[in-house]
Amino acid sequence: MKVVINSSYGKFGLSEEARILYAKLKGYKIVKAECFGYPTFFKNEATDENLIDDWIFDRSDPDLVQVVETLGEKAGDGKYCILKVVEIPDDVKWYITNHHQGEGENIVEEHRTWK
């Protein structure tokens, strides 16, 4: 399975070019609006429910993976967001951790914890 992570120490985010390609692959009509001075992207119409938000991406979404593989370093939103595709075994239960010490994100295998 392929998973997208940010290999830099900034927050995960797609560039404008990546958002447009992602929407195209999903079959969305992209709507761009200004919100608090920043470009904001919506699928099909500019409503809160249709916001294409960085926090909602399924990092193993094949369309997201294709965007990053196609655009390379241009897929990330700025110099502190360098997106990378990491391949992990299909049967692994995983989650993403974020280290703010310059390490970027990591994929971690889930494990059991008792207290």
Q: Which of 40, 55, 41 is nearest to 6 (CA)?
A: 55
Per the domain annotation, does 82 fall within a domain?
Answer: yes
pLDDT higher than threshold 70 for residue 99 = no
Per the domain annotation, does 22 fall within a domain?
Answer: yes
Per the domain annotation, does 114 fall within a domain?
Answer: no
Per the domain annotation, does 71 fall within a domain?
Answer: yes
pLDDT of res. 100:
61
Per the domain annotation, does 76 fall within a domain?
Answer: yes
Evaluate whether 69 touches 52 at the Cβ level (below 8 Å).
no
pLDDT of res. 9:
84
Report the domain count for the chain: 1
Q: What is the mean pLDDT of the chain?
A: 90
Strands (E), the chain: 2-6, 30-35, 38-43, 83-87, 94-99, 104-109
pTM: 0.87
The boundaries of the domain holding residue 60 are: 2-109
Per the domain annotation, does 34 fall within a domain?
Answer: yes
Q: List, for residues 32-59, the tens digit of each pLDDT value.
A: 888 888 888 898 998 888 888 888 899 9
pLDDT higher than threshold 90 for residue 113 = no
Q: List, for residues 67-83, the tens digit of each pLDDT value.
A: 999 999 999 998 889 99
